[in-house]
Amino acid sequence: MRQSFETQLRQMNEIARDKAKPDNTEEQRKKMDIVLDYQIEKAAERFGTPEKTQATIFKLQKRKQKVMAKLKEQLAEIDNPFEKEATVEGASRITYQDGQLFCGGREITLGELLTDGEWGLDYHLDPASVPRVIRKKYFIEQARREIMELLDRQIVTNESQSESVDELKKEGYIRMIAQENQEQSGKYAERMVKNLLKKIAIDQGLDIEISDADAYQDMELKIDFIIKRKMAARGVNVETNDEDRIGIQFTSTDSPEIVQKKERQIRRAKMRLAPEERIRDIALISIPLREVQTLMREWNRRKQPGGPDKLWRQSTRADIFSKVMRDLLTANEIEVISSKI
């Protein structure tokens, strides 16, 4: 996101956190309301938006605070020796035995557990058998996903109303909102590829982290998701490289015209890469995937753990992994991991 907008969100977050304190006096609440009104007014001036736009962004920030408060309660409950099991309506029960997770008698990997929320699957982790570290990871991932959705809404709300954003990009941000619930092969393919990579990284214990691009990175830099290599080998020495990040734009078409258009977009995006993005390169990955809608329909009939990408052939999964990871892993690493997928 824009660095100036990130700064603004930090300021709003401090106000939201202070306003949420239960022991505030009436005088303190009035003072905070004055500070909030001032921040909203200045933000509206800075970004060229109506004040009601910034008020909406603040409300979304308060919702992010609630997500974090809920996460804090969940983590505290896990550490409570007198924890009571609370069922979750509509959630599938997860148990743990002999080092393996199970859902309805079927094995489920940790990677599947942590990514299936993107496909609308909810799980209830049995506190008597599932290790605390796994349950904590699950709740943290839930919160991260909710906060990312709220952040994207904040970005889209700001950019689509800002006087400094040209009309074409404003329309693009508005389309993002309109397309949220639309069935699109390209959107599904992108999510399937991203989740496949996340699961492989988690289940194979790779020093790779897959993260979502925010709405600004999507629109301005044409990035669909980001890959970070946490440790990188450089010649004889091994050095820590916590920001070896590559932005990925994925396309499921092999149309020369579309691929060339996306290549031009990426060349322009690279010229706009700012240091605060901490992204060293942007890569276009083109993999023809013509079965996406068929796989989605097949998976939707039963919605089993693992998401629709689990229905891909092993050769398809290995091909996707090798093409996306070619700039981050050695050929030998890719070959070894592909054989395990």
One digit per residue, the tens of pLDDT, for the chain of length 341 reads 788 899 999 999 999 888 888 888 989 989 999 999 999 999 999 999 999 999 999 999 999 999 999 999 999 999 887 766 667 778 999 999 999 999 988 999 999 999 999 999 999 999 999 999 999 999 999 999 999 999 999 999 999 999 999 999 999 998 887 776 666 778 889 999 999 999 999 999 998 999 999 999 999 999 999 999 876 544 434 444 545 789 999 988 878 898 899 999 999 999 888 887 888 899 999 888 878 889 999 999 999 999 999 999 999 999 999 999 987 888 999 999 998 88
Tell me the C-alpha distance between 7 and 44, whole Å: 14
Residue 270 makes CB contacts below 8 A (sequence gap 6+) with: 281, 282
Report pLDDT for 234: 42
Tell me the C-alpha distance between 73 and 136, whole Å: 11
Quickly list DSSP for 17-48. Answer: HHHT-TT--HHHHHHHHHHHHHHHHHHHHHHT
Output phi, psi for 45, to 5 deg.
-70, -45
Query: β-strands 123-125, 92-97: how paired?
Result: parallel
Residue with tokens 């990514």: 115
CA 29 vs CA 16, 32, 33, 42, 52: distances in Å = 11, 5, 6, 20, 20
Whether this prediction's pTM lies above 0.95 is answered by no
Residue 125 makes CB contacts below 8 A (sequence gap 6+) with: 94, 134, 135, 138
Q: Is 74 exposed, middle or buried (0-12, 13-18, 19+ CB in 10 A)?
A: middle
Report pLDDT for 231: 61
Length of the chain: 341
